[in-house]
Structure 1
């Protein structure tokens, strides 16, 4: 039987073409409904494309903290896509309703290396940052804050590695009961406060000292809120902003913890600030007529 010479050639071409085809990128959907992101927290692998779709009648944005990505206004039934090519933690929110809604819209995407995702229920039985702080008798207030938080709970238990600067109980006491109660009852403020105490990567005390020495007694690290923390040395002791590291190199599977003696306050948070001086209005009865 005579063979058609075209068929083997065609089969070979198809095989080469299939091999050359790139792997399809993973995609994950987030719905914007009722002034919230659903789900608000995502853990994805590198090179995953996240698609946000706005189902509300009002416009929203998907704006990454620090400007990593920004959708601009998304109208009803419109979408925004972003592909996460690098590992890390990416908090984001809506800039349009921040001033009109008491609880601003917030979300977070945690990106892990490819092949690191696990099936729900099959997570490794590791000791997370949340586990470690819960076992420290000097971090009871910080533990309570994590348990009351929203997005920060996921951040502490997923992804990483992170370096956490955890204020001890005495540090929280200096804020006063009223201020502390206000923070613990405001999930958005609490998330911001907690993630301001975290930076990406494992930094031991030795690493921090080396960074400081290499940059002339001060270095800067970026926090998960997109702000920065100044690390310096005073009298041989490591400082984080105006806080002293009193215990260091407490390890977890997804990071490392240093205990500090002051609560770090995010810029513009207004936490613990005294109200501005306001000139009281004088009633007619109180006016003095010369």
Structure 2
């Protein structure tokens, strides 16, 4: 009888050990899943921080539709100085097709710098704030750019427009957020007032 009790005790302890091992394995798996999810959250936060840390100069350099504008910024030495700075800046960057109407390749460094500054405001203007200022100013607004000229904006039917050099109204899309301001892409050269 003692041997039967001893065998049962051994079997019971083996079964208990097996269940304990399974429970420990499950706990380890659960801990690994939690670690993985924490790492995913941390990686997502790192990716978000990296996206937020991109300056306007980097956004312009990486956008294939802004290669001509990027070249003008490089020629005027503004990408390395102004647009990598703290800002905040608002930049209205003409897409490549807008440059077909001007001969920007012949600009010297001073002309490039002046031309580049034409598209920049020395303050951050998110879309909603710009819209509010335009509406507050009776649906039109003149803002001085960094070159000293003025950019003309209008609001029509709830949309924001910037006036081009030819007098055409160019609709502004929502801007790209950079670490040092906002980047608006436009499809023509804006007017100097």
Fold shared, TM-score > 0.5 on shorter chain: yes
Task: Report the equivalent of 1:159.
Answer: 86
Q: In 2, distance between residues paired with 1:232 and 1:156?
A: 26
Cα offset, 1:138, TM superposition: 1.1
Is residue 144 from structure 1 mapped to residue 60 from structure 2 by the alignment? no
Q: In 2, distance between residues paired with 1:253 and 1:168?
A: 21
Cα offset, 1:237, TM superposition: 3.2
Equivalent position to 1:232, from 141, 147, 154: 154
Is residue 180 from structure 1 mapped to residue 104 from structure 2 by the alignment? yes
Cα offset, 1:265, TM superposition: 5.0
Greater share of residues in strand: 1
Task: Report the equivalent of 1:135.
Answer: 62
Question: Relative to 1, partners in 2 of residues 1:135 and 1:262: Cα closer, same or farther, differing over 3 Å?
Answer: same
Task: Report the equivalent of 2:180.
Answer: 254
Greater share of residues in helix: 2
Is residue 220 from structure 1 mapped to residue 147 from structure 2 by the alignment? no
SS of equivalent residue, structure 2 residue 125: coil
Greater relative contact order: 1 or 2 (C-alpha under 8 angstroms, separation 6 or more)? 2
Contact 1:162 1:201 in 2 (8 A): yes
Q: In 1, distance between residues paired with 2:109 and 2:65?
A: 23
RMSD between superposed Cα atoms in Å:
2.0
Contact 1:221 1:230 in 2 (8 A): yes
* 1:46-65 superposed matches below 5 A: none
Q: In 1, distance between residues paired with 2:150 and 2:131?
A: 17
Q: In 1, distance between residues paired with 2:96 and 2:53?
A: 26
Task: Pick the structure with greater CA Rg.
Answer: 2
Stretches of structure 2 that go unaligned for 5 or more consecutive residues are 1-51
Task: Report the equivalent of 2:38.
Answer: none
Could you report, residue by residue, the CA deviation over 1:233-286 in whole angstroms, capped at 9, with x for unpaired residues?
A: 24543222225144322011011011111112546xxxxxxxxxxxxxxxxxxx
Is residue 244 from structure 1 mapped to residue 166 from structure 2 by the alignment? no
Q: In 2, distance between residues paired with 1:254 and 1:219?
A: 23
Contact 2:94 2:186 in 1 (8 A): yes
Aligned length: 138
Cα offset, 1:202, TM superposition: 1.5
Stretches of structure 1 that go unaligned for 5 or more consecutive residues are 1-124, 268-290
